Structure 1
Amino acid sequence: MEPLVTHSANDRAIKGNGTPEATWQNSGKLSSLPEIDPAILVPPGARAVIVSPHPDDEILGTGGLLAQLSDLGRKVLIIAVTDGTASHPDSPEWPTARLAATRPQETRDALQRLRMKHVALVRLHLPDGGGEAFESELAEALKVLFEPGDIVFGTWRFDGHPDHESVGRAVTTVAGALDLSFVEVPVWTWHWATPEDSRVPWSRARRIVLDAATLARKVYAVQAFRSQIEADNSTGRAPILPDHVIERLTRPYEVVLI
């Protein structure tokens, strides 16, 4: 259950540079969260299912966990909800057709950089930016793809990005109906929230600690998303994922809500 706090989309707006990583680190809030072992989170015999709103969310939110699960020999299914074709509106350098071809390939490259084994990938090709419009269609697809015993991961229902929140709601509904464990993953939360923010369900938050080698694999995988981390020369726009955003998502641990 979510805590009884007020959630307003305006309060979770993704604007400006957001909360600096130094603020998070100086608070000690995240480093004091209880740890959870991936081997316990996804027990032997269980399959991890990652529902990713856009190509890159699976790496940004759970790249370190994916590397650890691979090393443990766990089976992984990644469900790519959209192809991320709305990331560069009106860009001559990155038209929709190029993004549709490039962004899924970036995910494949990232998974290779993580040295993933036992991983399957399903693409749903739902409209990027569709949010609530694709929520029911996504739920119907998930009913077919989920299997008994799956441990499901998806973006938090209150993460701030409309697509992320729609994915979180759809997964919550389907996983609940099928009696599957759902682990929510904050991604954009670190941008709009603050260390003492009561809107974040801290009692559910756990740290997945990444050793130096695992973190290096994740950072290398993030670098595969060149369309997102490089500036758009044709429009003069900054990268979709500038350094200050990547810094918050490449800590030596990942945070999940259980």
Structure 2
Amino acid sequence: MKPASLSEGRRGPAQIWNSAPQLAHIPIIALTSLVTPGARVVVIAPHPGDEVLACGGLLQLLSTREHPLQLISITDGSASHPGSNVWPARRLSVVRPQESVEALRRLGMPLHSLKWIRGGFLDNALPAREQPMSQFIARYLQPGDVVLTTWRNDGNADHDAVGRASAKACSLVGAQLYELPIWAWHCPAREGAVIPWQRARKVRLDSWSVARKLHAAHAYASQLAGDPQIGLAPMLAQELLERMREPYEIVFV
């Protein structure tokens, strides 16, 4: 799938796959089948907030089972508002990680025991750093870890690069990789690439988990606000927030 630019997503992503008939036929997977009891779970987020958009509900379920958790934020998300005087990169480099802290608090995550690694890679420039990024990720993985990250064909260049780099790191270390789509639900198939329905599995969420996930997403004030002065629409479009109301999360196994 050709990577979609951030500006494509801002124009109001169409509900391309949200009504696909294949959704109804995706098998349910039990949490214990996805993550073996006692396994450490590592979530790798290209930008602050991707951990909530991709698997906020799943993170809640895992925290109640007392799985050891580690979050790796590859970038600080400071390039989300290019050209903005309201949200310059210097401000965003501080604000977006702070928003993640609040979002995780809203999810009920154990912040006192959550190991959080910040990669410091340049936002919106990850494809060129895929090899060092893979080496960086591998340093923080252990054999038997369960790794959750963005799908390598998600349609955003940074998401795709992190998916590929995570796959390489998991293969090197001996960790289990699961990929999750975010932007892909709102992007048309490009160049023959489509959603890998045969790999898709549903993790059920109850209404409480869905509500908390939405509440957490709204902690990202910077992403809910664009910059009208320069015609910049919000990163978190209404269509994306609406999709988060679904009573499940989809994982590619």
TM-score, normalisation: structure 1: 0.89
1:24 aligns with 2:14: no
Q: How does 1:124-135 map to 2 (within 5 A)?
A: 124-135=119-130
Q: Give identity over the alignment, percent.
A: 38
Aligned residue among 69, 81, 99 for 2:74: 81
1:248 CA displacement: 2.2
Instruction: Tell me the equivalent position of 1:163.
Output: 158
> Partners in 1 of 2:235 and 2:57 — Cα distance?
21
Deviations 1:186-238 (A, max 9, x none): 111101147xx862111000011110011111011001001001232443422
RMSD: 2.2
SS at match of 1:36: coil
1:18 CA displacement: 3.1
Instruction: Tell me the equivalent position of 1:120.
Output: 115
1:200 aligns with 2:195: yes
Alignment-mate amino acid for residue 175 of structure 1: C
1:38 CA displacement: 1.9
SS at match of 2:41: strand
**Is the CA contact (8 Å cut-off) linking 1:209 and 1:253 kept in structure 2?**
yes
Deviations 1:125-158 (A, max 9, x none): 1000112222122111112100121001111111
Aligned residue among 222, 241, 245 for 2:240: 245
SS at match of 1:139: helix
Alignment-mate amino acid for residue 57 of structure 2: G
SS at match of 1:79: strand
Aligned residue among 51, 58, 72 for 2:65: 72
SS at match of 1:31: helix
For structure 1, the residue ranges without an aligned partner over 5 or more in a row are 1-6
Alignment-mate amino acid for residue 49 of structure 1: V
Deviations 1:57-98 (A, max 9, x none): 000000000001011111111100000010001111101110
1:149 aligns with 2:118: no
**Is the CA contact (8 Å cut-off) linking 2:14 and 2:186 kept in structure 1?**
yes
**Is the CA contact (8 Å cut-off) linking 2:163 and 2:179 kept in structure 1?**
yes
Alignment-mate amino acid for residue 179 of structure 1: G
Instruction: Tell me the equivalent position of 2:206.
Output: 211
SS at match of 2:23: coil
> Partners in 2 of 1:244 and 1:124 — Cα distance?
29
> Partners in 2 of 1:222 and 1:189 — Cα distance?
18
**Is the CA contact (8 Å cut-off) linking 1:59 and 1:221 kept in structure 2?**
yes
> Partners in 2 of 1:100 and 1:143 — Cα distance?
24
> Partners in 1 of 2:138 and 2:126 — Cα distance?
18
For structure 2, the residue ranges without an aligned partner over 5 or more in a row are none
1:9 CA displacement: 4.2
1:56 aligns with 2:45: no
Higher mean alpha-carbon deviation, 85-94 vs 224-233, is at 224-233
**Is the CA contact (8 Å cut-off) linking 2:81 and 2:226 kept in structure 1?**
no
Alignment-mate amino acid for residue 243 of structure 1: Q
Instruction: Tell me the equivalent position of 1:47.
Output: 40
Alignment-mate amino acid for residue 18 of structure 2: W
Alignment-mate amino acid for residue 217 of structure 1: R
Instruction: Tell me the equivalent position of 2:92.
Output: 99
Instruction: Tell me the equivalent position of 1:139.
Output: 134
> Partners in 2 of 1:9 and 1:98 — Cα distance?
27
**Is the CA contact (8 Å cut-off) linking 1:153 and 1:184 kept in structure 2?**
yes
